[in-house]
Structure 1
Amino acid sequence: MPATQHVLTLSCPNRPGIVSAVSTFLFEAGANIAEAQQYDDPETTRFFARIVFDHPAGAPEEATLRAGLLLIAERFGMAWQLRNLAERPRVMLLVSKFDHCLADILYRWRIGELPMAPAAIVSNHPRETFAHHDFEGVPFHHLPVTKTTKMEQEAAIWSLVQETGTEIVVLARYMQVLSDGLAAKLAGRCINIHHSFLPGFKGARPYHQAHARGVKLIGATAHFVTADLDEGPIIEQDVERVTHRDSPDDLVRNGRDIERRVLSRALRWVLESRVILNGSKTVVFS
């Protein structure tokens, strides 16, 4: 029979016996561990693990696996997730006028590099802004926003998240700051790309800020969204060298390439359950 493959991620206070308990349970359930990674954080004394395992289809059923893992989780005080790797998480893409990250994600999805199911594209700009893009098979929603309509627009976004069964929201250069309320609802499942190497140059026009300081490196940062602007747990970063000859426009142009690859890497790692929150930081099993 064809094998079913699952990925288990977990975190808990570190103590002896965690690996033994999980691996013994999986062995007794007839599973074969294909990949296992773990990390002991000496600062927080927490243990993190990502385990990929396969087993003959239906032996045991996923409900049985979950029931057994729940008992182990209660014993060790675990936060855990179990996902069937055949399932594709539903992803909503939010975008404003700059479309390079959106285009990159859609391209990587279409060639099979990003294991996801696009739930919707949402923009505060009309569909005509993206006339040169192929959105076939992906619903597009134009939700304009002003200072006076922000709460109503965000309520519409949240309704779409619920109606479409969205599991992950990506701010693909969505140039609107989410309210504290929406950020809280999307905690741990909303990824933003900030066009700067955080924690430096937060907020608006970071490339212009960087140019004014004469930086020799520019970068981009993918992070989880929190109520604090550009302060969420960092998932991935990258940089490129620049010189005094580069104008702000040069930095923006070079930055587009960094932004799209950083965001796509971060999204892929989240889709593959490689990212576990660790307070204000993340553990990334690459």
Structure 2
Amino acid sequence: MTQPLVLTLACADRPGITAQVTGFLFERGANILDAQQFNDRAANGGEDRFFMRVVFDPGSAAADDLRAGFAGLADSFGMEWKMAREDRPRRTLILVSKFDHCLVDLLYRYRTGELPIEIVGIVSNHPREAAIRVDIGAIPFHHIPVTPETKPQAEAAFRALADETDAELVVLARYMQVFSDEQSAHFAGRCINIHHSFLPGFKGAKPYHQAHARGVKIIGATAHFVTADLDEGPIIHQDVERITHADSPEDLVRKGRDIERRVLAEAVRLFAAERVLMNGNRTVVFRG
């Protein structure tokens, strides 16, 4: 049995896109298993955008032949597109500092097959014994220390590691270092951060303490793409939990950690399943 392929695309909206895409697959003997689309009607006179995700059985057609054939159609519509095997695990690097609860959760979901990723390395700005308190098995660990003076060299070392491991996804699992503009641009669209707050509120340091000081009744966490604007990247997934006046800042931190790990894991799953498409400073997320 052939493995399904996933086609994702985005372009300016105009009539006939769905017909052309499905017709292309039909003519080559492919069988569509799942299809989702979204038409973003622009405000203020902007350009309408079209987004689509199609899972299909290619039948006897070779994936490389399908990609080569689709390229002409994609060019005619000015599409940004990708065609990948659905079952291929996405090569992933995870960065962590001293809080390892998100890393532990990702490791569990990875080992149980829940996340379609292959963890090709774990990186920390702290030594192994200070950064991680669980067994990581045979996954390579890399200590790349960062100081204000050595930050450019440290970032260059990480870029080299990402190239060496062919990393498709970088996950900041409570990595407490801010990427430079250069680093953010290098990993644009493939670096996910977990922010321990329900953005856009309570950005920066100690957001749970900020929330407690404001007397909020809901706390949350946000997984977003990393951009040069701190904590302003396109949001992939969020979740919240209700709290009360009786909760202390420490209670909020404890409850927040549980939200953080869930939100980050879901964002990684969505990205690895080719369900997240960039839409300017927002995202289109095809749930499933």
Q: Counterpart of 1:73 in structure 2: which amino acid? A: A
Cα displacement (A) at 1:132: 3.3
Cα displacement (A) at 1:134: 1.5
Q: Tell me the equivalent position of 1:159.
A: 160
State TM-score, norm by structure 2: 0.97
Moved more, 25-34 or 60-69: 60-69
Return the alpha-carbon distance in structure 2 between the equivalents of residues 131 and 125 of structure 1.
Answer: 9
Return the alpha-carbon distance in structure 1 between the equivalents of residues 259 and 15 of structure 2.
Answer: 42
Question: Structure 1 residue 55 and structure 2 residue 58: aligned?
Answer: yes
Return the alpha-carbon distance in structure 2 between the equivalents of residues 282 and 69 of structure 1.
Answer: 24
Return the alpha-carbon distance in structure 2 between the equivalents of residues 91 and 132 of structure 1.
Answer: 20
Return the alpha-carbon distance in structure 2 between the equivalents of residues 137 and 188 of structure 1.
Answer: 28
Question: Structure 1 residue 21 and structure 2 residue 20: aligned?
Answer: yes
Cα displacement (A) at 1:61: 1.4
Return the alpha-carbon distance in structure 1 between the equivalents of residues 171 and 131 of structure 2.
Answer: 17
Return the alpha-carbon distance in structure 2 between the equivalents of residues 269 and 4 of structure 1.
Answer: 19
Moved more, 223-232 or 82-91: 82-91
Return the alpha-carbon distance in structure 2 between the equivalents of residues 152 and 170 of structure 1.
Answer: 20
Q: Tell me the equivalent position of 1:46.
A: 49
Question: Structure 1 residue 180 and structure 2 residue 184: aligned?
Answer: no
State TM-score, norm by structure 1: 0.97
Return the alpha-carbon distance in structure 1 between the equivalents of residues 182 and 132 of structure 2.
Answer: 32
Q: Tell me, yes or no, if the aligned pair for 2:98 and 2:132 is still in contact at 8 Å.
A: no
Q: Which runs of 5+ in 1 are unaligned?
A: none
CA deviation vs aligned residue, 1:196-246 (integer Å, no higher than 9, x gap): 000001111111111111111100000000000000000000111111111
Structure 1 residues 131, 25: closer, same or farther in 2, change over 3 A? closer
Q: Tell me the equivalent position of 1:284.
A: 285
Cα displacement (A) at 1:130: 4.7
Q: Tell me the equivalent position of 1:32.
A: 31
SS in 2 for 1:128: helix
Return the alpha-carbon distance in structure 1 between the equivalents of residues 69 and 17 of structure 2.
Answer: 14
Return the alpha-carbon distance in structure 2 between the equivalents of residues 145 and 13 of structure 1.
Answer: 42
Q: Tell me the equivalent position of 1:115.
A: 116
Q: How many residues align?
A: 283
Q: Tell me the equivalent position of 2:251.
A: 250
Q: Counterpart of 1:39 in structure 2: which amino acid? A: F
SS in 2 for 1:3: coil
Cα displacement (A) at 1:131: 5.5
Return the alpha-carbon distance in structure 2 between the equivalents of residues 39 and 55 of structure 1.
Answer: 23
Return the alpha-carbon distance in structure 2 between the equivalents of residues 131 and 220 of structure 1.
Answer: 22
Q: Counterpart of 1:170 in structure 2: which amino acid? A: V
Q: Tell me the equivalent position of 1:103.
A: 104
Q: Kindly, what percent of the aligned residue pairs are identical?
A: 61
Return the alpha-carbon distance in structure 1 between the equivalents of residues 139 and 29 of structure 2.
Answer: 39
Q: Tell me the equivalent position of 1:134.
A: 135
Question: Structure 1 residue 202 and structure 2 residue 203: aligned?
Answer: yes
Cα displacement (A) at 1:164: 0.4
Return the alpha-carbon distance in structure 2 between the equivalents of residues 15 and 130 of structure 1.
Answer: 50
Q: Tell me, yes or no, if the aligned pair for 2:100 and 2:133 is still in contact at 8 Å.
A: no
Return the alpha-carbon distance in structure 2 between the equivalents of residues 66 and 13 of structure 1.
Answer: 20
Q: Tell me the equivalent position of 1:86.
A: 87
Cα displacement (A) at 1:67: 1.2
Q: Counterpart of 1:49 in structure 2: which amino acid? A: M
Return the alpha-carbon distance in structure 2 between the equivalents of residues 216 and 85 of structure 1.
Answer: 40
Question: Structure 1 residue 4 and structure 2 residue 3: aligned?
Answer: yes
Return the alpha-carbon distance in structure 1 between the equivalents of residues 160 and 68 of structure 2.
Answer: 31
Segments ≥4 residues shifted beyond 6 Å: none
Matches within 5 A, 1:187-266: 187-266=188-267
